Homo-oligomer: A and B are copies of this chain.
Amino acid sequence: MNFQQKLEKAVKKNNSLLCVGLDSDVEKMSSGTIRHPTQFSFNKAIIEATSDLVCSYKLNTAFYESIGHLGIKALKDTCDYLMTNYPEIPIIIDAKRGDIGNTNKGYVQFVFTYLGGDAVTMHPYLGEEAIRPFLDEKDKGIFVLCRTSNSGAGEFQDIEFKIKNSKLRINRKLRLYEYVAYQASHSWNMDRNVGLVVGATYPEELKNVREIAGEQMWFLVPGIGAQGGDTATTMKAGLNKKGTGLIINSSRGIIFSKDPRVEAAKLRDKINQFR
C-alpha cells in the first residue's frame, strides 16, 4: 500500500480531512492546561484523544530539534508509538529539507528508515534532480513547498515570468509558485507520490494550484486557525470534485487548547460541512 492509498483509507475510515500537527513546543507544552513532562507523553495524550478524528498526524521536526538529540528521540518514540498502535494512520514528517542528491540520501534515511514516516515536506529550490532520492521512494508521499502560509511568502513565490515549455504545453505568464506546481504535478510525479504544500492563508493561490495540479493530487494545507486561514474559503478553493484532495492541518489551535478532542472534532466536522 502506498502513501496515497493509506491516506485515502484513513480519510474514509475516520471520515476526516483533518491532520493534527504535533508541534509539541516544550515551552508551550508545559504552560497550558494539559501538562506533560515530556514531548513523547504529551504527544501520546494528544494521539489518544484524537486518533479516531484524523486522516494523518504531522510532526514538524523544528519543535523536536530545538532541544537536540533528546527531542529527536521523542520524535522517533512518537512515530514508533503511532506505527505500533495506529498503523493505519499516515505520519507526515514536516521536515522542509532539501539538499543536493548525494546528501538528500541521509535525509531519506532519517525520515523514512529511522523515523518510519509515510510522507515528508521538501523545498523546491534545488530542483527535481536534487530531490530525486526522495522521489524514488515510490511508496512514500513527497509534499513540495509551493505556496507557503507565511505573510511574506510572495517575496519570491509571486515573481512573474513568461514561460514557454513545450513538454508541459505552457506558453504564458506564470508566478513562481504556479511553475513549481506545474513541475511537481506534471514532471516530477511519474510515480504518483508527489503532493504540494499550499497555505490556507492564500485561497486565491490555492485555487490556482488546484487548477494546475488537477484532480488527483493531494495538498497539505497549513494555516487554518492560529495563522488566520478560513475553513469555508479554503475548502471551496482547494477541494477536488470527489470532495477530497486536501489535508487540513491544525496544530496550536488543537494541541494547546483546553480540550484537544473537542477542538479536533469541531474542526473535523466543520471541514466536512463543506465537502
Q: List residues of A whose CB falls within 8 A of some B CB.
A: 23, 25, 60, 62-70, 72-73, 76, 96-101, 103-107, 109-110, 114-115, 123-130, 145, 148-157, 159-161, 163, 176, 179-180, 183, 227
- Total identical chains: 2
Can you list 7 residue pairs at the A/B interface with Cβ under 8 Å?
A62-B105, A66-B109, A72-B72, A101-B150, A123-B123, A125-B148, A156-B180
Residues of B within 8 A of A110 (CB): 62, 65-66, 68
Identify which of A70, A98, A125, A151 gathers the most chain B CB atoms within 10 Å of its CB.
A125
Q: Which of B65, B66, B99, B129 contacts A62 (CB 8 A)?
A: B99
Q: Which of B69, B98, B150, B157 contacts A76 (CB 8 A)?
A: B69
Q: Which of B114, B129, B151 contacts A155 (CB 8 A)?
A: B129
Q: Which of B65, B96, B105, B155 contacts A66 (CB 8 A)?
A: B105
By beta carbon, the residue of chain B nearest A97 is: B96
Residues of B within 8 A of A101 (CB): 150
Q: Which of B99, B129, B148, B154 contacts A152 (CB 8 A)?
A: B129
Residues of B within 8 A of A107 (CB): 62, 65-66
Residues of B within 8 A of A98 (CB): 96, 123
C-alpha spacing A152/B155, complex, angstroms: 23
C-alpha spacing A68/B110, complex, angstroms: 6
Tell whether, in the assembled complex, residue A126 and residue B103 are in contact, meaning their CB atoms are under 8 Å apart.
no
CB distance from A224 to the nearest CB of B (A): 14
C-alpha spacing A156/B105, complex, angstroms: 22
CB distance from A181 to the nearest CB of B (A): 12
Tell whether, in the assembled complex, residue A127 and residue B152 are in contact, meaning their CB atoms are under 8 Å apart.
yes
Tell whether, in the assembled complex, residue B130 and residue A148 are in contact, meaning their CB atoms are under 8 Å apart.
yes
CB distance from A6 to the nearest CB of B (A): 23
C-alpha spacing A151/B132, complex, angstroms: 12
Residues of B within 8 A of A63 (CB): 103, 106
Residues of B within 8 A of A130 (CB): 148, 150, 152-153
CB distance from A17 to the nearest CB of B (A): 21
